Amino acid sequence: MTDKKITPASLAAQAMGWIDPVTKAVVPPIHMASTYQRDEDNGYRSGRIYARADNPTFDQAEATLTALEGGARALIFSSGMSAATACFLALAPGDHVVVPKVMYWSLRNWLATFATDWGLKVDFVDADRTDAIAAAVRPGATKLVWIETPANPTWGVTDIAAAADIAHRAGALLGVDSTVATPVLTRPIEFGADIVMHSATKYLNGHSDIIAGALIGARDDAHWAKLRAIRAQLGTILGQTEAWLLMRGMRTLFPRVAWACRSAQTLAERLAAHPMVAEVLYPGLPSFAGHAVSRRQMTGGFGGMLSVRVKGGERAAIAAAARVALWKRATSLGGVESLIEHRASIEGPGTPCPPDLLRLSVGVEDGGDLFDDIDQALRRADNA
Q: How far apart are CA 285 and CA 272, in angstroms?
A: 9
Q: How far apart are CA 11 and CA 246, in angstroms?
A: 15
Rounded to the nearest 5°, which phi and psi values hold at 196?
A: -115, 135
The type of residue at 118 is W
Instruction: Of 208, 229, 245, 173, give the one whose Cα is nearest residue 28.
Output: 245
Which residue is catalytic, options 54, 73, 104, 343?
Answer: 104
Asked whether 243 and 211 are in contact (CB, 8 A), the reply is no
> How far out from the chain centre does Cα 259 lie?
18
Which residue is catalytic, options 73, 108, 143, 202?
Answer: 202
Decide if 177 is catalytic.
yes
Contacts of 32 (CB under 8 A, 6+ apart): 240
Asked whether 177 and 104 are in contact (CB, 8 A), the reply is yes
Which residue is catalytic, options 159, 177, 356, 373?
Answer: 177
> How far out from the chain centre does Cα 21 lie?
33
Which residue is catalytic, options 48, 52, 262, 379?
Answer: 52
Decide if 104 is catalytic.
yes
**Angle between the N-to-C axes of helices 313-322 and 367-382, in degrees from 0 to 180, rounded to the nearest 10:** 130
Handedness of CA 62, 83, 303, 208 (dihedral sign): positive
Decide if 50 is catalytic.
no
Q: How far apart are CA 51 and CA 243, in angstroms?
A: 13
* Strand extents, DSSP E, 187-289: 195-198, 213-217, 277-281
The partner residues of 216 in beta bridges, in order of sequence, read 74, 196
Cα–Cα distances in angstroms (integers) from residue 166 to residues 49, 145, 293, in the given order: 41, 9, 17
Decide if 202 is catalytic.
yes
Q: Which residues are catalytic?
A: 52, 104, 177, 202
